[in-house]
Amino acid sequence: MRKALANAVRMAFEQRLKDELLHFRRVNGFALPDECRVYEWKVTELFRLFLMLQLHRQEDSFTLEVGWSLHGRWPEDADLPDAPPEVSEKGATRFRIGLLWTKKADIWWDLAPRPSAVPLEEALKNYDGFLEGLKRPDLSEGLAKVDPTVKEAFERIREQALPYFERITAAAGISLHVKA
């Protein structure tokens, strides 16, 4: 993601956390790439809920991961599951948020269109058009999409992740009161 867009997404995401999900705080100290930020909700001394914002390295897009742990830390080494797990004996998991509503778990929010795969014959017929399609839109177009795109991601957090967090904490015998 281009630097100006990355900064704008991080700022918009963190502002929405402050405005809407007050329990989540940014945490450091994990072996994660620079384009990732982890936010935790400390439910008990060891039971934590997590959101991870991950910016794409090349494209102007981002995704979210959901996680929880009974060990007091981000489950960085957890295997990515095929379905959202309930509380398990491993005591920790993380996964892409899309898994909560679709089997295509790798959901990304785009601030600029991604180049589409075009068959070679088609690209050669209109090579100039093909090259034009590879160009990124002007930065101002992406910046204009930051707030509505982050808002859309937060709608998914409220509709999908928060109810999941409530189920996980209830299964652990903890009552979690979330305002959605």
Q: Which tokens is 4 given?
A: 């100006």
Take residue 150 and report the two structure tokens written for it: 């982050």
Residue 85 confidence class, pLDDT cut points 50, 70, 90: confident
Question: What does the alpha-carbon distance between residue 133 and residue 73 come to, in Å, rounded to a whole number?
Answer: 43
Longest dimension (CA), the chain: 63
Give the rounded percent of residues in the chain with a pLDDT score beyond 90.
54
Residues 32-57 have pLDDT tens digits of 888 999 999 999 999 999 999 999 99
Q: DSSP label at 81?
A: P
* Among the ranges given (11-25, 64-78, 140-154), the one the predictor scored with the smallest mean pLDDT: 64-78
Q: Domain ranges in the chain?
A: 3-171
The sign of the torsion formed by the CA atoms of 69, 71, 77, 81 equals negative
Report the alpha-carbon angle 16-18-94, nearest 5: 75
What pLDDT is attached to residue 132? 61
For residues 11 and 145, the answer to whether their CB atoms sit within 8 Å is: no
Entry pTM: 0.84
Give pLDDT tens digits for 89-141: 578 899 999 999 988 778 999 998 766 555 667 767 776 766 666 666 788 89
126 vs 36: CA distance, rounded Å: 38
Average pLDDT, the chain: 86
